[in-house]
Amino acid sequence: MVLRLFKKHSKKVGESPGTVVYTGDVIDSKTSLQLITYNIDFFQDKEITLDGISTILNDFGMKWLNVVGIHKPELIENIGRQFDIHPLVLEDIANTSQQPKIEDYSELIFATLKMFHMESSGEIKMEHISFVLKKNILISFQEIPGDVFEPVRKRIQVGRKRLRESGHDYLLYSLMDAIVDNYFLVLLNIGEKIDALKKSISSNAKKEDLIILDKLQEEIAVIQQSVEPLRKIIPELDDYDSPLIEDTHSIYFRDLHDHINQISSTTYAVKDKLSSMTDFYLSVVSNRTNEVMKTLALVATICVPITVVAGIYGMNFQYMPELSSPLGYPAVLASMAGIALSLFGYFRRKKWA
């Protein structure tokens, strides 16, 4: 999904709470269900069908079900029935305008946030992603194929002891940490774009630079809007006192909160830098205009005495100095050139030209 600060909300007014309505961009892609099952000695990664969901809970070990395709309300509703997920949770899963939040429903913990990642073209894409943590499974929901979870999948596959031995709450932390860590990469990319933009403005400020600047300002505003709620909701996990979160894993969520605070500080710094870029652009344009005006003023100043001389000799008097002399015309031209060169030399000594 393209980063936009203001988006059209497609949910109809007056619908009952818990109605699953997809509110994101129109997507023409297939849905998929990826199930990763593992324990200390076992790992399996496979794609399942909707009919095979009912047998998941009978499998042994840790289970991570990744659902791609929240643009299909019937898929979300079906999964909700299979795993007894509250209708309000299902509504928020499909609502891409939902602000990041974490809620404790006693039998499950629901978390939703925004995932940012870089396209090969350098464009920043945002995706609405949700997690449902239950006692015997973790379910993640995303809009389109492609995510930032590949390092976590690799860690599970190669048998990292911490992930293989820990519960679903640690898996939730690992996935959220992957999303948050990717914020740093996105901000780094924006920082590089700002540096390139500054060089472009310094060398030759153009209208296109303002378009790029406006786009960067909107991108950082969307990122800030997505990060700020996380600063408040992550500490709430400690207050829930939920059996789904082990006490030994609370420290990891606190570390995640520290990372979010760093990202928040960085977004403010980037936002201030972008604000100063507008002043910098205007300053460069103003200086360029001043240089042009200065040059025109110098030319006009040099031309004034020459114009006076030309005006005097353009008067129709019969008796004028050197009017009948063969050298009169060259002498006047030489005088005019001498005046111009004298003034130009004077301006150069004063460093005005």
- 186-221: per-residue pLDDT in tens? 999 999 999 999 898 888 888 888 899 999 999 999
- Distance of alpha carbon 21 from alpha carbon 74, whole angstroms: 10
Q: How many CA atoms lie within 13 A of 182 on its CB side?
A: 23
Say yes or no: 275 and 305 in one domain. no
Domain-located, residue 240: yes
Q: Which residue has the tokens 């599970």?
A: 156
Instruction: Measure the CA–CA gap between 90 and 82, rounded to whole angstroms.
Output: 12
**This prediction's pTM:** 0.80
Residues 184 and 208 in one domain: yes
> For residue 293, what are the domain limits?
286-349
**Partners of 117 in the β-ladder:** 125
pLDDT for position 7: 58
Contact yes or no for 112/100 (Cβ under 8 A): yes
* Rounded distance between C-alpha atoms, residue 89 and residue 98, angstroms: 11
Average pLDDT over residues 54-73: 86
* Cα 28 from Cα 57, distance rounded (Å): 30
Percent of the chain with pLDDT over 70: 94
Distances (CA, A) of 5 to 12, 90, 126: 20, 24, 11
Query: Looking at per-residue confidence, does 251 or 27 come out higher?
Result: 251
pLDDT at 176: 93
3-state secondary structure of 1: coil
Q: CA 221 to CA 260: how far, in whole Å?
A: 16
User: Under a CB-based contact definition with an 8 Å cutoff, are residues 213 and 281 in contact?
Assistant: yes
Residue where a domain terminates, one of 238, 262, 284: 284
Q: Where among 264, 284, 304 does a domain terminate?
A: 284
Tell me whether residue 103 is in a domain: yes
Q: Are residues 171 and 303 in the same domain?
A: no
CA distance linking residue 267 with residue 84, whole number of Å: 38
More confident residue, 16 or 114: 114
260, burial (CB in 10 Å: exposed 0-12, middle 13-18, buried 19+): buried
Domain shared by 331 and 258, yes or no = no
- Helix/strand/coil percent split, the chain, to 5: 55, 15, 30
290 and 151 in a common domain: no
In a domain, residue 139? The reply is yes
Residues 217, 89: one domain? Answer: yes
Find the CATH number of the domain harbouring 317: 1.20.58.340
Decide if pLDDT at 350 tops 60: yes
- Domain presence at residue 276: yes
Which of 123-132, 226-235, 241-250, 331-340 shows the highest mean pLDDT?
A: 123-132
- 131 and 259 share one domain: yes
Asked whether residue 10 carries a pLDDT value surpassing 70, the answer given is: no
Within-domain flag for 211: yes
pLDDT confidence band for 134 (50 / 70 / 90):
very high
pLDDT at 171: 94
Residue 310 in contact with residue 336, Cβ under 8 Å? yes
In three-state secondary structure terms, 138 is strand
Q: Could you tell me if 166 and 101 are in contact, meaning their C-beta atoms sit under 8 angstroms apart?
A: no
**Sign (positive/negative) of CA torsion 150, 152, 153, 158?**
positive
More confident residue, 59 or 284: 284
**15: pLDDT strictly greater than 80:** no
Average pLDDT value for the chain: 85
The enclosing domain of 264 has a CATH number of 3.30.460.20
**Residue 123: per-residue pLDDT:** 84
Final residue in a domain of this structure, among 257, 284, 311: 284
Percent of the chain at pLDDT > 90 equals 34
Residues 226, 340, single domain; the answer is: no
Q: What is the mean pLDDT of residues 287-293?
A: 82
Give the residue with greater pLDDT, 111 vs 15: 111
Domain assignment present for 27: no
Instruction: Judge if 218 and 326 occupy the same domain.
Output: no
C-alpha distances in Å from residue 325, one per residue of 17, 65, 330? 103, 104, 10
Looking at residue 218, its amino acid is E
| 277 and 333 share one domain | no
Is the residue at 83 inside a domain?
yes
Tell me how many domains the chain contains: 2
16 occurs within a structural domain? no
**pLDDT higher than threshold 80 for residue 19:** yes
Summarize pLDDT for 294-319 with one digit per residue, the tens: 888 888 888 888 888 888 877 877 77
Indicate whether 77 and 183 sit together in one domain.
yes
Alpha helices in 16-101 (DSSP H): 73-83, 87-94
Check residue 111 and give its pLDDT.
94
Nearest to 144 by CA among 64, 26, 4: 26
Task: Based on the fold, state whether residues 294 and 152 are members of the same structural domain.
Answer: no
